[in-house]
Amino acid sequence: MANERTSRSDRIDWLAKGPLAPYVDAYKQYLTDRGYAASTFKNCLRGIAHFAQWMHRRCRCLRRIDESVVSEFLDSHLPRCRCTGPTHRDRRNLSAALGHLLMVLRASGIVAPPKAKTTPVAEELLRYDEHMDHVRGLAPKTRSIALRIIGRLLTSRFRDGPVAINTVRPDQVRRFFAHQAKLYSKPANAGSVVAALRGYFRYRASLGDAVHGLIGALSYPANWQLSSLPKTLTAEEVEQLIGALGQPGRSMRRADAIVRCALDLGLRSGEVARIGLDDINWRAGTITLRQTKGRREDVLPLPVATGKAIAAYLQHERPKTANRAVFVRHVAPRDVPVGPDLVRKTIRQAFARAGLPYTRSHLLRHTMANRLLAGGASLKEVADVLRHRSLNTAMIYAKLDSRKLIEVALPWPGSAS
């Protein structure tokens, strides 16, 4: 009798007849739209078939499926799995397959969206984020850094309890800063912790809290501004980098276009990642930068070499996608733009191919400023091209302006005047 029941279970097609059957087509379309490979496609279907068999045996209701149910399947069932038929048991593949399944079911309105964890600290951070966004106008990355630091302070002090900022003492703030400063390689870099804490305490002071003592509890670490020269590529190294472009290989046209955007336009990695198809005016030869660090739109001329590199990528290498970003992923999920991390990785790899001992993508931005100065541009023009709000930000490049430095240099004592 048991053998007969097992044989009958083996013959069940859990995708076609199981509890997930009505949504299998939507699941397949989801994977197809994102360009997953055939092997990944097959593993995902086998994974949800295994999950459907477990759901049937456990009498799980489809509408109650969420991350906790998936964790129960992976943590409790999988190590002791006795399911029949050609079930898929690789935990990593199963976790990815079920993550996609939850997204499909939630998009169809079958499963409720994940419940956000609401704690007093989380609510406080949400309010402060709105203040930084709407009142102070800070960029998303600046806000995320500040929220991470403030979140550590509030969590260490209040855990899951209510936030009573009036109970925080200056010595507690100083001890917190001392602990956080150990996370930074250079003391001067810990200034972001001071800025985040002071900004939050000023926000609480604006609400009427007596926290003025906390604002003065910290001082910025010593940081000698403009004390060093900005590192740039030499003219020979620039030629070496450009000479290493145009190599055949996977995603090489995208790499060439990314390097050109950073080298010829001085774009930050995030700005490169956010370039859209609608931002390039091919007839006028311009490119519009949106959502920049300065939170404004800027129009820059598009150099011929940069335009050719972008056009070659769009024509010969960019995958078909409905996404309007210029630079998109070449592996699944493909319908997604690249991120700043991939831009930085691409530039590091370009340095390596050129035989240059550098890793920082921001080096190309400094190089672009140096090339402008060498071509006769003024500091004001450099600041405009780099889109600095304040001319003081561009003052460090004055050390690279050899023409002006020669004019103000005094003769060495004892030398012929």
Q: What is the CATH number of the domain that holds 309?
A: 1.10.443.10
Q: Is residue 257 part of a domain?
A: yes
> What's the pLDDT band for 240 if we cut at 50, 70, 90?
very high
Q: Residue 177 corresponds to which tokens in the numbers above?
A: 């800063």
Q: Is residue 115 part of a domain?
A: no
Q: What are phi and psi of 281, to 5 degrees?
A: -100, 100
What pLDDT does 163 receive?
Answer: 93
In angstroms, the Cα distances linking 135 to 128, 138, 260, 400 are 10, 8, 36, 37
Element (H, E) at 289: strand 286-289
Same domain membership, residue 153 and residue 82:
no
What pLDDT does 220 receive?
Answer: 83
What pLDDT does 294 receive?
Answer: 65
What pLDDT does 84 receive?
Answer: 76
Residues 317 and 298: their CA atoms lie apart, in Å, by: 28
Enclosing domain of residue 92: 2-107
Same domain membership, residue 277 and residue 254:
yes
Among 52, 85, 107, the domain boundary falls at 107
Angle at CA of residue 365, ends 387 and 386, nearest 5°: 10
Number of domains into which the chain is organized:
3
Same domain membership, residue 157 and residue 53:
no
Sort 257 into a burial class: Cβ within 10 Å, 0-12 / 13-18 / 19+.
Answer: buried
Same domain membership, residue 292 and residue 184:
no
Q: Which whole number is the average pLDDT over 257-266?
A: 94
Same domain membership, residue 70 and residue 127:
no
Same domain membership, residue 320 and residue 398:
yes
- In this model, does residue 207 exceed pLDDT 80? yes
Q: Where are the beta strands (DSSP E) in 249-383?
A: 280-281, 286-289, 298-301
- In this model, does residue 412 exceed pLDDT 70? yes
8 A C-beta contact, residue 299 and residue 286: yes
Q: Residue 54 corresponds to which tokens in the numbers above?
A: 């477990």
8 A C-beta contact, residue 412 and residue 404: no
pLDDT digits (tens, 9 = 90+) for 8-50: 444 468 888 889 999 999 999 999 888 888 899 999 999 999 9
- In this model, does residue 329 exceed pLDDT 70? yes
**Which residues contact residue 406 at a Cβ distance below 8 angstroms, ignoring those fewer than 6 apart?**
none
In angstroms, the Cα distances linking 199 to 148, 205, 211, 372 are 13, 10, 12, 36
